Structure 1
Amino acid sequence: MPQVEPEVLHAFEMMWGLYPGPVLLIHKSREIMAVNQAAATLGLPAGILCHSLYPSDTPCPGCMANKALKQGQGVRRPAWSERQGQFMDGFWIPVSGEPELYVHFGNDLTDLVRPELKSAGNG
């Protein structure tokens, strides 16, 4: 089981604790190490594999975590989420100084997307 230093967990809470949407701190193994308040309110727990939320035994097809960790920089992927019925602007951001950790979140941009893109079901 991966371990995260207390100061990293504290920094995550300081930076993302009050963010209005769910934010996850995830290990490269896909284990959720910490969640912010919004994620906890939705019942998203730490200690499980992130893709098990969908449910799946493997990482989600659109997951950009490996790319973000390999490049050492944040990756953005806006896309239509059929499952959620939302246009999501997804981010995978490596944690500086922690090569096995990244922050993942998505913002719902559905209200800002042109109607023809919503009906086409793509981003």
Structure 2
Amino acid sequence: MQSIDQSVLEAFDTMWGLYPEPVMLVHACRDVLAVNQRAEELGITPGIKCYSLYPSDRICPGCLGNKMLKSGQAERKGAFTKQGRYVDGYWIPVKGVEKVFVHFGNDITEFVKPELLAE
């Protein structure tokens, strides 16, 4: 697993520790460097490859991590899960830390118009 400065891990925990959805701090190689409390509750642990949650042995087909890393700008994408939920996903670069980003998705199914869910 990639190493990261302790101050970055502390900042991640301060900002995302109690966020109500699972949040991961991810290296460009897709090592999960840290997770918030909700991710821990779901059994997500540092040291795994993020795509293993898909499950897959390579980067997920809808992942915008590479695009975000190349541009240096946050990316957003909405998608349906296999369970029929609508998740609003984010890939956000960590300012001043190369090849590291925050990744999470908010389940916003209850806020999406029913006609959009049918598509």
User: Where does 1:15-54 land on structure 2 (aligned, <5 Å)?
Assistant: 15-54=15-54
Listed one character per residue, the Cα deviations across residues 67-116 of structure 1 (whole Å, up to 9, x for unaligned) are 111111111111222x2321110000010111110000001110111222
Identity of paired residues, percent?
54
Amino acid at match of 2:24: L
CA distance in 1, matches of 2:83, 2:39: 15
CA shift for structure 1 position 117: 2.2
Q: RMSD value over aligned CA atoms? A: 1.0
Structure 1 residue runs of 5 or longer lacking an equivalent are none
Runs of 4+ in 1 over 2 A off after TM superposition: none
TM-score (norm 2): 0.95
Amino acid at match of 1:89: D
Q: Does 1:73 align with 2:73?
A: yes
TM-score (norm 1): 0.92
CA distance in 2, matches of 1:57, 1:103: 20
Higher strand share: 1
Per the alignment, in what secondary structure is the counterpart of residue 48 of structure 1?
coil
